[in-house]
Amino acid sequence: MPLSAHLNTFAGNPLDRVSDRRREPEWLADQLEATGTTVLAFWNGSALVQGGESEAHLARIEPGLAVELAGGDERLLFMGLDAKGGAVFALDLEGGADPAHGLLQGRGRFANLRDLAPLLPAGDCGMAASAKAVFEWRRRHRFCSACGQPTRVAEGGWKRLCPACKVEHFPRTDPVVIMLPVRDGQCLLGRQPSWPPGRFSALAGFMEPGEAIEEACAREIGEESGLKTVAVRYHSSQPWPFPSNLMIGLIAEVAPGEARADQTELEAVRWLAREEVVRLLADGGDITLPPSMAIARQLIAFWAAGEPPG
């Protein structure tokens, strides 16, 4: 039974992370040599996959080849154990030359995770999101934020240590509230100027230190539309590895008042009746809603269906 009735794209990583065993270097080394161990490969944030344009799956390479390509622990990440108890690692490759045309030729193709998401099984999406987020963190935290010295990898890739000042660094997740303001059978959508023509979506913004989820929701709605929030309901969450966000999906009841786009983040806001949203979800129209992989669309579809909060 799933933990949530709403499983968004990039959620649902099927692996047992066995995070308590990451502290055992000998055990991790044994896993790299164990029968049944497989490795996922990434190159500059893209995942190695097999399949066509309608469906695909993450390609697996043997651990011996991965160790050779990695040249040490720095580029390897222990992901966890699969349902059969086999270890799954991920390999992070960089550089300008596509490895799929070189050392990994015939093993698959590298593709952007945004493009892959609609094609991959849910479990593959979850694993790819975890690996990509950690590898993006690794690239941005090669030096200690306390003293500036180079850091080294530890705990299977899930920690970095500074040999100089002994500070420990861990992967970060940046929480984002994403909410659908509603009142009187209508929902409010906003538009950013950088989006494709006609695209409208839910409102969103990063949480700030010392701020509760509900407070962040109310603040962002107030800043972007000028409306006052009176109640907040949780819907679901979504890992968003671009580079390392956690989207916290909410439905927000707002008080009467005129909605005005702040003209800083949003160039326009628009109220839509439930019937209009249902039509847009089914047939489209002058407004383009977010793609199905985005939690914003799931919030909109959930509200349009008139379902009670889960």
For helices 63-70 and 25-33, what crossing angle results, to 10°?
120
Q: Using CB atoms within 10 A of its CB, is residue 40 exposed (0-12), middle (13-18) or buried (19+)?
A: buried
Mean pLDDT of 168-176: 97
The C-alpha R_g of the chain, in whole angstroms, comes to 22
In angstroms, the CA 279 to CA 115 distance is 26
In angstroms, the CA 41 to CA 64 distance is 13
pLDDT of residue 1: 41
Between strands 229-240 and 245-254, the pairing is antiparallel
pLDDT confidence of 309, banded at 50, 70, 90?
very low
pLDDT confidence of 2, banded at 50, 70, 90?
low
Global pTM value: 0.94
pLDDT of residue 53: 84
pLDDT confidence of 3, banded at 50, 70, 90?
low
DSSP letter assigned to residue 284: -
Tokens of 185: 């059978």
pLDDT digits (tens, 9 = 90+) for 118-151: 999 999 999 999 999 999 999 999 999 999 999 9
Q: Mean pLDDT score of the chain, rounded to an integer?
A: 95
**What percent of the chain lies above the pLDDT cut of 70?**
97
Would you kindly state where each structural domain of the chain is located, as residue ranges?
Answer: 19-139, 174-304
Mean pLDDT of 5-20: 93
Q: How far apart are the first and last CA of the chain?
A: 15
Domain 19-139 identical in fold to domain 174-304: yes
pLDDT digits (tens, 9 = 90+) for 34-70: 999 999 999 999 999 999 889 999 999 999 999 999 9
pLDDT of residue 6: 80
CATH number of 174-304: 3.90.79.10
Asked if residue 307 has pLDDT above 80, the reply is no
pLDDT confidence of 78, banded at 50, 70, 90?
very high
In angstroms, the CA 198 to CA 257 distance is 25
Asked if residue 13 has pLDDT above 80, the reply is yes
Q: Residue type for 31, please?
A: Q
pLDDT confidence of 4, banded at 50, 70, 90?
low
- The CATH-assigned architecture of domain 19-139 is Alpha-Beta Complex (3.90)
